[in-house]
């Protein structure tokens, strides 16, 4: 045995030994104080219902409400002293309530447990955060639709494998992300519908013998209805997992757009230019302008994905009903909420702010024989060639243009007729990038008229929401 004392073995951080460690690992007030509004709202609804059912007196309910409203004001104004000794937000509020109104405070916890109390607080918080996320996604869609309308006919290269493939328009590209954000909103709205049930009144795990009215408290807190199984009510964190899942998918979409902004803003591409508001300089290289906002959006996606995996791992081995492990759910969700909100604001701001270099986009769209597919389609449509044969003829045309270091549309008609004598001057109508994008009129295609039609669709869709 060494000569260390028990306190030294536990580490200098914990002057009181093991009991200090237990206090530190058990306390959650450092983070769950963010739930104070939801906790106070839940307590006001619960005490009002208890009075309506004759379980506590109207006088006690009125005192409880007065005290809770004072506590909410104190926290709002930064005058409330949170105590680690009281562990969590629930006990901090209850202790302060007792100091304000005396014994009546002790009646507040009748017919409930901290298990259903934290469950309802956390659901309320996540539901409100999901609504905020839905609104932020709408703002992103509005920014994307605005840029799409502005650049409905701005030609740029479309890529597969990050290789120039076929010309598209920048407006069409923006609307691709509007579609993603629209699906993100759908997932968030679906999650809100599923979490719109109140667990308050499930008590510790088995319900209560008091004649409470759970429908009344659910209605008072803005829930559609109460949950239907007391065991599930206190042990469920699906609502948090579903929120994190939707958040992770949304963050992934933001990361893809951020990656494209990083690529497009390089001098090698020079498709877009970010303002100083979303860029930083180099400490050593004065010529540098770094797209740090976009890069940080990519990085924050990793944090948000990590929050989802952390909570999945926390929950995967828990038996019914409540376990203290579930205290670890909140920090993951809080972190994801904060970082996704910041990432969404950054991407929305960048999309509204960036300057599009249309000339550079057009030049890149015409490089790499990007209209080769249009040539093959013309051979099929006008000459009746099977597509595979047309593909072969087009490949020979590309090889010819590559050898001569010219674009497809610069090949003389005499040379093209060497590939097939039936080719006419009409073929040049499909070989320019403008003709290429204009021809893509199939539903969902990149033709400028299609882009404008989709802009109208999105404006009507958003407008119908009120």
Give the residue numbers annotated as catalytic, written as ranges.
161, 282
Partners of 158 in beta bridges: 166
Closest CA to 238 of 186, 183, 308: 308
Task: Tell me the Ramachandran region of residue 434: left when phi exceeds 0, alpha when psi lies from -120 to 50, beta otherwise.
Answer: alpha
Distance CA 118, CA 88 (A): 10
Q: Is residue 102 exposed (0-12), middle (13-18) or buried (19+ Cβ within 10 Å)?
A: exposed
Cis peptide before 232 (omega within 30 of 0): no
Strands 225-226 and 197-198: parallel
Q: Which two tokens stand for residue 270?
A: 């020079």
Q: b or e along 383-411 (b: 16 or more beta carbons within 10 Å of the residue's beta carbon)? A: eebeeeebbebbeebbebbeeeeebbbeb
């Amino acid at each position: 045995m060494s000569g260390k004392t028990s306190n030294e073995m536990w580490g200098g951080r914990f002057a009181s030994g093991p009991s200090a460690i237990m206090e530190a690992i058990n306390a959650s007030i450092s983070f769950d104080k963010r739930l104070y509004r939801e906790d106070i709202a839940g307590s006001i609804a619960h005490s009002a219902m208890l009075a309506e059912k004759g379980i506590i007196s109207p006088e006690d309910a009125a005192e409880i409400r007065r005290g809770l409203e004072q506590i909410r004001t104190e926290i709002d104004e930064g005058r409330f002293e949170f105590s680690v000794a009281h562990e969590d937000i629930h006990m901090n509020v209850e202790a302060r309530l007792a100091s304000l109104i005396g014994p009546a405070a002790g009646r507040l916890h009748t017919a409930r447990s901290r298990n259903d109390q934290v469950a309802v607080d956390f659901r309320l918080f996540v539901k409100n955060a999901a609504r905020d996320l839905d609104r932020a996604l709408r703002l992103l869609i509005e920014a994307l639709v605005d840029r799409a309308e502005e650049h409905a006919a701005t030609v740029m290269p479309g890529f597969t494998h990050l290789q120039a493939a076929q010309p598209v328009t920048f407006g069409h590209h923006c609307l691709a992300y509007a579609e993603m954000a629209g699906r993100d909103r759908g997932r968030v709205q679906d999650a809100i519908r599923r979490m719109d049930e109140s667990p308050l009144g499930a008590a510790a795990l088995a319900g209560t013998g008091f004649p409470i009215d759970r429908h009344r408290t659910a209605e008072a807190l803005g829930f559609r209805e109460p949950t239907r199984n007391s065991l599930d009510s206190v042990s469920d964190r699906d609502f948090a997992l579903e929120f994190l899942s939707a958040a992770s998918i949304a963050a992934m979409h933001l990361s893809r757009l951020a990656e494209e902004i990083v690529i497009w803003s390089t001098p090698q591409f020079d498709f877009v230019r970010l303002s100083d508001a979303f860029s930083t300089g180099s400490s050593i290289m004065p010529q540098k302008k770094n797209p740090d906002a976009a890069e940080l959006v990519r990085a924050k996606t990793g944090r948000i994905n990590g929050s989802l995996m952390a909570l999945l791992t926390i929950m995967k081995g828990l038996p019914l009903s409540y376990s203290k492990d579930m205290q670890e759910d909140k920090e993951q969700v809080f972190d994801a909420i904060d970082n996704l909100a910041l990432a969404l604001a950054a991407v929305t701001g960048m999309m509204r702010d960036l300057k599009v270099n249309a000339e550079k986009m057009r030049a890149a769209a015409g490089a790499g024989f990007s209209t080769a597919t249009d040539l093959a389609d013309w051979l099929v449509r006008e000459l009746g060639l099977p597509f595979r044969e047309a593909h072969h003829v087009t490949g020979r045309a590309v090889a010819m243009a590559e050898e001569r270091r010219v674009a497809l549309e610069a090949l003389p008609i005499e040379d093209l007729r060497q590939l097939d004598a039936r080719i006419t001057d009409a073929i040049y109508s499909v070989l320019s990038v403008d003709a290429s994008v204009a021809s893509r009129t199939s539903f969902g295609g990149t033709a400028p008229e299609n882009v404008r039609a989709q802009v109208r669709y999105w404006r009507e869709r958003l407008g119908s929401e009120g």
